[in-house]
Amino acid sequence: VKAAPPAAPAIDAASAKRALAALRAAVGKDWVFASDDAALDTYRDAYAIAPPADTRPWAAVAPANLKQLRKVLEAARRHKLTLWPLSTGRNLGYGGAAPRQAGAVMLDLKRMKRIIEVNETLAYAVVEPGVSYLDLAARLAKLGGRLWVDSTASPWGGPLGNFLERGVGYTPYGQHAETQCGLEAVLADGTVVDTTANGRAKTAHLYRYGHGAWLDGLFNQSNFGIVTRIGVQLMPAPAGYRPYLVTLAAEDDLGALVEALRPLGLDGRLAGRPTLMSLARAAAYGVTRAECQPGSGPLRADTETRLIAEHALGHWNLYGALYGAEAVIDASVGELEHAVRAVPGARLHFAATRAGDAAFQCRAALMGGTPSMDEYRTLDWVGAGAHLDFTAVLPFDGDAARAASRVAREVCHAHGFDYCAEFQLEARALRLEVRVVFERDVGARQCAAHATLAALGARFASMGHGSPRAHLAFMDDTAATFKRGDDALMRSCEAVKDVLDGQGVLAPGKSGLWPGRYTHRRK
C-alpha cells in the first residue's frame, strides 16, 4: 500500500483543549467525541484497505440543526480545524465513514434527519443529510405508497449523501443528480445559500432553474460547502411493472447486446436503468465462492459452465424492468424481444421462471421502488467480505464495452480476484462498476484490493475513460486523469475554493481539490 495521505495540521495540547471546548459549546458535550471516546472508532471505513491509523480522525462532532452547525463552523474557523462532513456515513466501497486525512474532525450530520416535506400531489420530498432511503421509504409507505423511492443497493445510505457522490439507483429515477431539485448549503464562513432563492420560491423543488448562474452542481462532489437539505423528485407508483432478465450464452455477446439495446436507450424505450452483470457478480447473490470452486484463483471455465447450468444464468445477465399499464408493458416486451433476438443465444426471462433466484428478487425489489439490503449477501462470496468499487463511464457502444470489460477482467484476475462487474445502462453512456470483493480486514487482501484499484484507474485512464466517483484513497489520482493542457478546470475549482473557503476548513483533498494552504498538494 502506498504512503498514507497527509495528516491534517496538528494542534498543540492547549489549543486542542480550547477547540474541544468550543465544539462542546456548539453542540453540547454529549455530541463531541474525542480521542478517549470509543465512539470515535465508528468513524472508519468498515471495508478499509489501509491501516486505521492512516485515516484516524482527531474528533467527531454531531450538530442537531443548522444553528448548531454554524456554531461548529465558527469553532472550526477560530481553532483552525479541518472538518470532514458525513451524511449517513455509508459511502461503502469508496472509503466509508473515514476522512481523507488522519487528524480531521468528522462533521457527522446524521442527527439532522428531518423529512421536511413530502408533496404527494407534485411528487417530491425535501430531506436533510441524515435521512436514509429506508427512512424515506417508511414515510412514503405510511402515506399509502403512491410514491416510490429510488434507492441504491445500500439503502441505509440516504438521498442527500448519494446525490453528492453522484450515486445511482435502478428505477427510471435512478440518475440521482437529475432528480435532485433545489438545495440549501452552508459555506465555511457560515453563509446559508438557498439555490431556490432566485425567483422560484413556488417551484423550488419542481423546476431546477431560477435565473442567472445555476449553483446546485457547485456543491456536488466538491468541498465548497456543507449541504443541509435537498429536494428529491419522486416517481409516482406506476400502474404496473414487470422485471426481466436477459442472459447471454457467450462472453463476447456483450458487444452485440449493447449494440442491440442502443436504439432503445437513445429514444427512451429502455425503461429505467438496467444493469448488466458479469457471471460472478450475479452468482454471488445465491452461492459462495467456496461452494463453486475450492482453492484460490479466478473461476475456471468449467466452473463457469456449471454455474450457468445450475442457476440458469448467463455469462452476462441484464436485469431490467418495464413500467406502466399492462398494454404498454406488453408493447415494450415486444421491442425488447426484438432487440434480444439480434443476439444469438440470448434469452429473456420473467419473474415466473425466476422464483428462488436471489439476484432476480433483489434487483426486482430495487427496480420496483422497494429498498433491499440483499445486495450485502454478495459479500459472502469470500466469507466475511468487503468491497472496493471502481467506476468508469464509457460510450454506449459494443466495442467499447467489450474492450473495457476485457481489461477489467484481466486486471481483476491478475490480482487474484474474480471478475465482479456491472454495466449500468443510461441513454448514451455505460457506467461500468468493477467490484473487488475481498476478505475483510485481511492485510494481504487489502493490499491486493488497493493494487487492483490503482491498476484499473491507470488502465482506464490510458483508454480515455474517466471515473465519475473516486474512493477516498484515489481522489488525487482520479483528479489527475482529468488534467488537460493548462489544467484550467482544476485551477478554476481552486480559485472558487479560495473564495468560498480560503482558510481550507472544509474537506481538504475532496475530489483531489486542496485548499490553498496545502500548496504542496496543488500541482
195 is a contact residue toward ligand ADP (CB under 6 A): no
Nearer to ligand ADP, 42 or 203 (CB): 42
Give dist(CA 367, CA 149) in Å, integer.
Answer: 10
C-alpha cell at 98: 473515514
- Binding of ligand ADP at residue 62 (CB under 6 A)? no
Give the integer Cα–Cα distance in Å for 354 and 213: 49
Return phi, psi of residue 430, to 5°: -115, 130
161 binds ligand ADP (CB under 6 A): yes
Looking up cell 467499447, which residue turns up?
A: 400
Compute the least distance from the CB of residue 152 to ligand ADP, in Å.
8
State which of residues 5, 57, 63, 89 lies at the interface with ligand ADP (CB under 6 A): 89
Among 54, 150, 165, 357, which residue interacts with ligand ADP (rule: CB under 6 A)? 165
Residue with smaller CB distance to ligand ADP, 73 or 261: 73
| Torsion sign, CA atoms 38, 43, 46, 51 | negative
List binders of ligand ADP among 68-87 (CB under 6 A): 85-87
Q: Does 129 bind ligand ADP (CB under 6 A)?
A: yes
Question: Phi and psi dihedrals of 228, rounded to 5?
Answer: -110, -15
What's the min distance (Å) between Cβ of 309 and ligand ADP? 38
Does the footprint of ligand ADP cover residue 247 (CB under 6 A)? no
User: DSSP string spanning 450-518?
Assistant: HHHHHHHHHHHHHTT---SS--GGGHHHHHHHT--TT-HHHHHHHHHHHHH-TT--B-TTGGG---TT-
Identified binder of ligand ADP from the candidate list 55, 162, 275, 481, rule CB under 6 A: 162
For ligand ADP, give the closer residue by CB, 170 or 241.
170
Asked if 109 is part of the footprint of ligand ADP (rule: CB under 6 A), the reply reads: yes
Decide: 242 and 321 in contact? Cβ < 8 Å: yes
Which residues in the 222-241 window bind ligand ADP by CB under 6 A? 226-227
Stretch that binds ligand ADP, among 39-47, 160-168, 376-384, 451-459 (CB under 6 A): 160-168
Q: Print burial letters for 262-288: b (CB count within 10 Å at least 16), e (below 16).
A: bebbeeeebbbbbbbbbbbbbbbbbee
8 binds ligand ADP (CB under 6 A): no
**Residue 283 and residue 292 in contact, taking contact as beta carbons nearer than 8 Å:** yes
Contact positions with ligand ADP (CB under 6 A) in 494-513:
507, 510
- Count of CB atoms situated within 10 Å of the CB of 345: 12
Tell me the site size for ligand ADP, rule CB under 6 A: 19
Nearer to ligand ADP (CB atom), residue 165 or residue 422: 165
Residues at the interface with ligand ADP (CB under 6 A) = 85-91, 109, 129, 157-158, 161-162, 164-165, 226-227, 507, 510
